Amino acid sequence: MKGKEKRNKRIDVIFAMALTLIKGLGPRQGRILLDYFGSAEAIFSASLNTLKGVEGLNVKLPELILTANTFKDAAAHLLFAKKHAIQVISILDEEYPQRLKNCEDAPLVIYVKGAITFNQKRVIAVVGTRLATAYGKSLCSNLVKAFKNSDTLIVSGLAFGIDITAHQAALEYALPTVGVLGQGLDSIYPVAHTNIAHKMLLNGGLLSEFLPGTPAKKENFPQRNRIIAGMCDALVVVEAAIKGGALISAELANAYNREVFAFSGRSNDRFSAGCNFLIKTHKAALINSADDLIYAMGWETASDLINEKEAAKDIELNAQERIIYNLIQNKTQHIDELFQQSGIPASDLALILINFELQGVILALPGNFYQMA
């Protein structure tokens, strides 16, 4: 990315962050403004009368926007994020998760760590109880395993139980996986999952809408759950009690018109009660295996998993190569972006790109850009 483009993007991000720091301005109101003005910078440049003329905007917000003094804080937060290797992405950036962008209450700014591309062919959210049984963990692992070597992203919340099982299975089967957190990305919660979170940074990563420095609080997790629901094509509830975050995620996914699935369980099993309730009330479709999910989503015809797997077998990748492959897979990338996002030494990066070119995996474009062949 050229210097001027970097500067413009940084300015755009600071304006977007400044917008989110205005008290009383939530994602929905922010989205109304961005849709009207086209950029966060234009919002702050607008006159009072122009702001008052925006249909659907809270009547108190025009004054709050014009008197906002949030730029200094936004710049400080951006600097803090940079020091902690946290990317700041606004909803207007092409790197923003496209499925999430379609939700009217999507966060205006997200914070990201790792080598992540969000817009794979399939995105599956896997959720469930923190007190998962051995049976539930087995169901979860086998579900993820079925998508091995396919263009699929596994999303969950890094919590105990089903969440961490989904992330571990994705790592085991070389699938990218994203943990959506309910706190700032300068810390990991739960702390016990720090090592797994660090492994996820190599093939996937972490995402939060909360500013770095924000602690994990109970009230943050419903907000976190809406991101998990909004990011996916399909949300799968593996095991869940009748109350809890998994059912909240399922409700949100239904509200976003995502497909929701649940594994059935024994009628007297506490951690099957939530799944059985979703199925009984037609808020989730019953599945017994990954094959049921694949069939229901039409993926066996629309995007042939078997052919994807066979094609992927022809490319043997080490850890560094997998990072670069994932970054280029869904987006044309400049060599500077690859260097910054991957953290791979420049000499190693250059060698990987040359080898990919020779193998016919990628194409080198003018200006040091690269795309899939």
* Confidence (pLDDT) at 305: 58
The last residue of one of the domains, among 261, 276, 302, is 302
Q: Is residue 91 part of a domain?
A: no
- Which CATH number does the domain housing residue 23 bear? 1.10.150
Q: Are residues 260 and 157 in the same domain?
A: yes
Are 90 and 96 in contact by the 8 Å Cβ rule? The answer is yes
Q: Which residues contact 64 (CB under 8 A, 6 or more apart)?
A: 22, 23, 24, 25
In a shared domain, residues 276 and 344: no
- Residues facing residue 129 across a β-bridge: none
Query: 140 and 265 share a domain?
Result: yes
**Would you say the pTM of this structure is higher than 0.85?**
no
Higher pLDDT, 102 or 358: 102
Answer yes or no: is 99 within a domain. no
Residue 243: how many CB atoms within 10 A of its CB? 11
Q: Is residue 265 part of a domain?
A: yes
- Looking at the domain assignment, is residue 94 inside a domain? no
Residue that terminates a domain, selected from 251, 281, 302: 302
Tell whether 106 is covered by a domain. no
Burial bucket for residue 356 (CB in 10 Å: 0-12, 13-18, 19+)? buried
Mean pLDDT of the chain: 90
pLDDT in tens, 138-171: 999 999 999 998 899 999 999 999 999 999 999 9
Q: Note whether 19 and 68 are same-domain residues.
A: yes
Q: What is the pLDDT of residues 289-308, one digit of tens each?
A: 999 999 999 997 434 554 55
* Domain encompassing residue 333: 315-372
What are 187's two structure tokens?
């810390």
Residues 9 and 119 in one domain: no
Asked if the model's pLDDT at residue 367 lies above 80, the reply is no
Residue 197 placed within a domain: yes
CATH number at residue 157: 3.40.50.450
The 10s digit of each residue's pLDDT in 312-358 is: 445 678 888 888 888 887 678 889 888 888 888 888 888 888 888 88
Q: Is residue 88 part of a domain?
A: no
Distance CA 308, CA 310 (A): 5
| 330 and 297 in a common domain | no
Q: Are residues 183 and 143 in the same domain?
A: yes
Same domain? For 290 and 364 the reply is: no
Residues 203 and 126 in one domain: yes
The count of domains in the chain is 3
Tokens of 346: 């420049």
Same domain (yes/no): 349, 204: no
